[in-house]
């Protein structure tokens, strides 16, 4: 078998070298529609994708990757994961990524999907010098410099505007990111950003160091008993993400099975631009014994918040709400910047063997000022105070192609959160998942990515069933059904409510150059009626989404994407609808590539807005909401000057037919057209 493998490695040697370079240029569009197919949720997809695709610059070592890490890619089913680990155990370390072809049910297409996120490390040279020498000689590093700007003048930059609404800085967005890393060894990096409207300032007393947002980390792995240690900014992902979950958490999507279960990944560096979802301090994972790990963390950082005085209770410095936008442009936004301090301490005792992954967790959050929200009918059970302690445990069990997963967490003195599920590859063709969740209305978790209908695991019960059936290489079908209820009031629903959601998706790949899918989704939920005389009157609203998409190429250099998306929304006896039709073209030739899109859209209102992924510069993401009547187009040009330098230039334009102004507040543009430009340079150091 090994001699046959040598032949395979020789055949694919040149392709393996090319694959190492192409990892840096991997186009995530090929996975977007499969893994993140439902893109109409009001969440930051940029943060989700950036967190996911950081693996492009720090891929997993195929000879050390764990079952949890493989599951977190959301590409392999349970049968494929178990087959990969079984092959590695029986045949020994992988010599090449293409050795995956020896594993049953690993097609060339599947290997192409996962290969950008995996690598094979040369162990003979990876640990034979000091870590400083390994960092200085490391080839897997890069520096990104990015500039972006809206060309039209926005209200916040106008001379003479009221100072309370005027932006402090220029309309230029500036971004820089550096990272050097070696899988299973170390990672160092920093991220700098100035949003449009923010000022470049140097005032250490107020923690201004030119860029408004600065993130950094230093990580080492597998140093004796210390399996992971991070100083700086990091995220934590344990159990099913109820008590401790990173900013990356996928909800209900076209990939209806693998995205449901969360992975127990532990600590990882934070590189996202989302300014409210990370810890800052130190974290460590220590091997107590062969099967027992102790994870511990400490974090102390500032949070943006609206702070006022509670004269009734004679309390100074009361936080009434958090600010999650990360924008610091106006006097009001600047006043909320770093207004309070947040301290987090957590410890996880984790037992692992070939079948069991279980742990106990405790997490404490303290604020320097008490949080006292302004009372509304629906937020009576929201968190108030300056300390929150969660105590819980998780239990995952793997048997052949079946995975059971669960987590229970309790907020001390308040409510509970419970999730449990079963994922299985029943046959080589059929994968299923069942998921149950129950979150009390007085359960609180500030860092969670649990699978839920709400944006946070609170005031919700639900049962989810997902499945995927692969007929052959050409045909597959997938879907899910979800039933949920909210025992207490929630935003825009001032009475206990319930809902259902289901989706079905048919995939067809008639040839290597043609892929298409058809998708239908229906969601029914209650929300407040339009009758303002009775705020507690709710009605059912039904949203239906229809997708038709085809990707095809005429030759190795030219590819196309055609799509139609439309939606309807029935509420209170009134039906509205929306539609977008788009055409993408991509041309690649040697070091040069150019991509473009033309789309026209027509939506009746915001309830029918449509999100569509757009190609962007490397490690940047674009998900504009198509809302109103008009057209949108963009061009993206990439050129590799040499082996060390790549440049991108992107232009996009949205033109509305039914507006004479765009945006709101300080972002308002007088006129019906918005043009945005972006320029990026990547240096491989």
Q: How far apart are CA 104 and CA 391, in angstroms?
A: 42
Using 50, 70 and 90 to split pLDDT, how confident is the model at 228? very high
Contact 383, 349 (CB under 8 A): no
pLDDT computed for residue 33 by the predictor: 62
On the question of pLDDT at 335 being above 60, the answer is yes
Using 50, 70 and 90 to split pLDDT, how confident is the model at 5? very low
Q: Estimate the share of the chain in helix, then strand, then coil, as percent rounded to the nearest 5.
A: 15, 50, 35
For residue 553, what are the contacts with CB-CB under 8 A and spacing of at least 6? Answer: 513, 514, 559, 560
Torsion of Cα atoms, 202 then 204 then 205 then 208, to 10°: 60
Render pLDDT for 272-315 as a digit per residue (tens, 0 to 9). Answer: 888 888 999 999 999 999 999 999 999 999 999 998 865 445 45
Higher pLDDT, 362 or 80: 362
What is the residue whose two structure tokens read 């998780």? 394
Render pLDDT for 654-675 as a digit per residue (tens, 0 to 9). Answer: 999 989 999 999 999 999 999 9
Contact 610, 601 (CB under 8 A): yes
What is the residue whose two structure tokens read 């493989």? 70
Render pLDDT for 175-185 as a digit per residue (tens, 0 to 9). Answer: 999 999 888 88
pLDDT computed for residue 285 by the predictor: 97
Contact 138, 180 (CB under 8 A): yes
pLDDT computed for residue 224 by the predictor: 92
Output phi, psi for 599, to 5 deg: -140, 145
pLDDT computed for residue 108 by the predictor: 81
Render pLDDT for 466-512 as a digit per residue (tens, 0 to 9). Answer: 999 999 889 999 999 999 999 999 888 888 999 999 999 999 999 98
Contact 443, 419 (CB under 8 A): no
For residue 473, what are the contacts with CB-CB under 8 A and spacing of at least 6? Answer: 107, 109, 509
On the question of pLDDT at 52 being above 90, the answer is no
Residue 621's H or E segment, with its range, is: none
Q: How far apart are CA 366 and CA 342, in angstroms?
A: 6
pLDDT computed for residue 115 by the predictor: 84
Name which of 53, 303, 317, 296 is nearest 179 in CA terms. Answer: 53
Q: Among 49-58, 101-110, 389-398, 519-528, where is mean pLDDT lowest?
A: 49-58
pTM: 0.89
pLDDT computed for residue 259 by the predictor: 84
- Regarding beta strands 118-119 and 60-61, do their DSSP bridges make them parallel or antiparallel, or are they unpaired? parallel
pLDDT computed for residue 162 by the predictor: 73
On the question of pLDDT at 206 being above 80, the answer is no
**Angle ∠(433,438,439) on CA atoms, nearest 5:** 130
pLDDT computed for residue 10 by the predictor: 40
Higher pLDDT, 570 or 118: 570
pLDDT computed for residue 18 by the predictor: 42
Higher pLDDT, 49 or 363: 363
Percent of the chain clearing pLDDT 90 (strictly above): 59
pLDDT computed for residue 619 by the predictor: 82
**Angle ∠(619,324,347) on CA atoms, nearest 5:** 85
pLDDT computed for residue 15 by the predictor: 40
Both structure tokens of 81: 């994961």
Q: Among 87-91, 376-380, 501-505, 521-525, where is mean pLDDT lowest?
A: 376-380
Half-sphere exposure of 242 (CA within 13 A, CB side): 34
Average pLDDT, the chain: 87
Range with top average pLDDT, 58-62, 112-116, 470-474: 470-474
């Amino acid at each position: 078998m090994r001699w046959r493998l040598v032949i395979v490695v020789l055949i694919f040697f040149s392709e393996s070298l090319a694959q190492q370079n192409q990892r840096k240029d991997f186009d995530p569009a090929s996975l977007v529609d499969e893994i993140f197919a439902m893109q109409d949720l009001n969440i930051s997809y940029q943060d989700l994708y950036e967190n996911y695709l950081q693996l492009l610059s720090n891929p997993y070592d195929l000879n050390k990757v764990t079952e949890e890490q493989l599951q977190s890619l959301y590409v392999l089913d349970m049968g494929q994961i178990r087959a990969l680990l079984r092959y590695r155990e029986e045949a020994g370390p992988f010599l090449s990524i293409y050795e995956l072809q020896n594993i049953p049910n690993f097609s060339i297409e599947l290997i192409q999907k996962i290969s950008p996120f995996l690598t094979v490390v040369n162990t003979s040279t990876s640990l034979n010098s000091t870590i400083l020498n390994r960092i200085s000689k490391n080839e897997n590093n890069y520096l990104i410099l990015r500039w972006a700007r809206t060309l039209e003048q926005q209200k916040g930059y106008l001379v003479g505007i009221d100072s309370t609404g005027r932006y402090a800085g220029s309309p230029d967005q500036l971004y820089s990111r550096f990272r050097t890393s070696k899988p299973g060894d170390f990672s160092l990096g920093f991220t700098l950003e100035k949003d449009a409207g923010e000022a470049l300032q140097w005032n250490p007393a107020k923690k201004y160091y030119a860029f408004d947002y600065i993130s950094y980390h230093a990580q080492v792995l597998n140093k004796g008993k210390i399996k992971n240690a991070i100083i700086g900014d990091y995220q934590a992902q344990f159990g099913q993400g109820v008590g401790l979950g990173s900013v990356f958490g996928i909800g209900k999507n076209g990939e209806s099975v693998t995205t449901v279960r969360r992975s127990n990944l532990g600590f990882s560096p934070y590189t996202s631009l989302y300014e409210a979802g990370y810890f800052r301090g130190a974290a460590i994972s220590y091997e107590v014994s062969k099967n027992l790990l102790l994870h511990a963390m400490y974090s102390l950082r500032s949070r943006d918040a609206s702070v006022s005085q509670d004269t009734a209770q004679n309390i100074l410095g009361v936080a009434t709400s958090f600010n999650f936008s990360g924008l610091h442009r106006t006097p009001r936004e600047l006043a909320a910047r770093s207004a309070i301090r947040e301290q987090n301490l957590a410890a996880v005792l984790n037992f692992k063997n070939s079948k069991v992954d279980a742990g106990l967790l405790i997490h404490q959050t303290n604020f320097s000022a008490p949080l006292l929200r302004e009372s509304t009918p629906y937020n009576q059970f929201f968190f108030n105070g300056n300390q929150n302690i969660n105590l819980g445990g998780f239990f995952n069990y793997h048997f052949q192609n079946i995975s059971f997963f669960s987590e229970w967490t309790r907020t001390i003195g308040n409510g509970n959160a419970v999730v449990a599920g079963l994922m299985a590859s029943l046959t080589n063709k059929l994968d299923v998942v069942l998921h149950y969740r129950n979150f009390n209305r007085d359960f609180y978790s500030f860092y969670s990515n649990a699978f839920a209908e709400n944006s946070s695991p609170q005031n919700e019960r639900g049962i989810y069933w997902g499945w995927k059936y692969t007929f052959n290489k050409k045909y597959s079908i997938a879907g899910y059904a979800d039933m949920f209820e909210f025992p207490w009031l929630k935003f825009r629903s001032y009475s206990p409510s319930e809902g259902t959601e289901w989706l079905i998706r048919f995939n067809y790949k008639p040839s290597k150059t043609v892929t298409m899918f058809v998708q239908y989704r229906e969601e029914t939920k209650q929300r407040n009626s339009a009758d303002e005389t009775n705020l507690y009157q709710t009605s059912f609203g039904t949203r239906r989404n229809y997708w038709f998409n085809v990707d095809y190429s005429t030759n190795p250099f030219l590819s196309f994407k055609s799509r139609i998306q439309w939606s309807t929304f029935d509420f209170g006896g009134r039906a509205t609808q929306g539609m977008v039709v788009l055409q993408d073209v991509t041309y690649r030739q040697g070091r040069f590539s150019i991509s473009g899109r033309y789309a026209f859209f027509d939506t009746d209102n915001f309830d029918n807005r449509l999100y569509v992924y757009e190609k962007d510069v490397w490690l940047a993401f674009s998900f504009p909401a198509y809302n109103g009547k008009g057209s949108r187009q963009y061009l993206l040009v990439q050129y590799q000057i040499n082996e060390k330098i790549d440049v991108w230039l992107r232009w996009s334009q949205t033109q509305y037919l039914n507006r004479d102004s765009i945006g709101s507040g300080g972002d308002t543009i007088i006129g019906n057209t918005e043009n945005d430009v972006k320029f990026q340079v990547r240096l491989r150091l």
